[in-house]
Amino acid sequence: MSTVRSADGTAIAYDRLGAGPPVILVGGAFSFRRYRRSVELAELLAEHFTVFNYDRRGRGDSGDTAPYSVEREIEDLAALIELAGSGACVWGQSSGGVLALRAAVAGLPIAKLAVFEPPFRLDGDGDPPPVDFATRLDQLVAADRRSQAVKYFMTKGMGAPGFFISLMRLFPPMWSRLTAVAHTLPYDVAVMGDTIEGKPLSPSDWESVRVQTLVLSGAKSPERAGNAGRALADVLPNARHEALAGQSYNIKMKPLAPVLKEFFRATAQAGAPT
């Protein structure tokens, strides 16, 4: 493990694997660098790239300087991009993909960007979270009611059925992993902003993302995931959407890695950011 200092002095922990053009992995809600799927993807990509697999602030071995803001998370990613050097590509999953997109809006020098199932809630794609969703989640976290915060986030935010949460709680190691990062769930809500309120994406919010972007979704995921991916690709100036056959929200890393390898290596072979 190594650390890099963000602009506000927060230590951001990361693992560096492999050799070649740099790729930075940005996890979504509940994810951290030692999560099994994150490690697996890092190891697969390390055969061709220098991979930076990091803990977002508040998770794992990274610091968590208060107060939180999305801008501080963008600065964390900026510190990693500076460390990685020119031509860094970025992969982001779920809300981590939205964080990467917001970093691109802020002008970070990303060579290529790939995102998987940004969890936008669009008009007609089911009920959006309650209007007091962020406030209620903040209250649960402030009271250190971690299990309740995880359940509330997954049911009211992600749309997971209650029985699914009950099943997950039967596996203590899994549930402990989720509750360990429950205090960071409001961070993901802040990253998502108004994109979960059940309205169309605003092109003006994303038109400055000029970086070539690959928007992925699972062909077996709920219809709203594909709708969100296509909507995002439509409002980005330089993007395409692809539905991965046989994949769902719980995407498998072995079939994903070759897709990312092909997309990112095109930039590496060109010798400069797109």
Nearest to 57 by CA among 87, 40, 78, 39: 78
pLDDT at 123: 79
For the chain, the structural domain boundaries read 2-123+197-270, 133-191
Torsion of CA 87, 260, 42, 61, to 10 degrees: 70
Does the pTM of the predicted model rise above 0.85? yes
CA 274 to CA 269: how far, in whole Å? Answer: 11
Backbone angles phi, psi at 42, to 5 degrees: -60, -45
pLDDT per residue of the chain (274 residues) written in tens, 0 to 9: 999 999 999 999 999 999 999 999 999 999 999 988 999 999 999 999 999 999 999 999 999 999 999 999 999 999 999 999 878 999 999 999 999 999 999 999 999 999 999 999 987 777 789 999 999 999 999 999 999 999 999 999 888 887 788 888 878 888 899 999 999 999 999 999 999 998 899 999 999 999 999 999 999 998 989 999 999 999 999 999 999 999 998 899 999 999 999 999 875 444 443 3
- pLDDT confidence of residue 267: 55
Cα 199 to Cα 183: distance, rounded to the nearest angstrom: 27
Top CATH class, 2-123+197-270: alpha beta
Whole-angstrom Cα Rg for the chain: 18
What pLDDT is recorded for position 114?
98
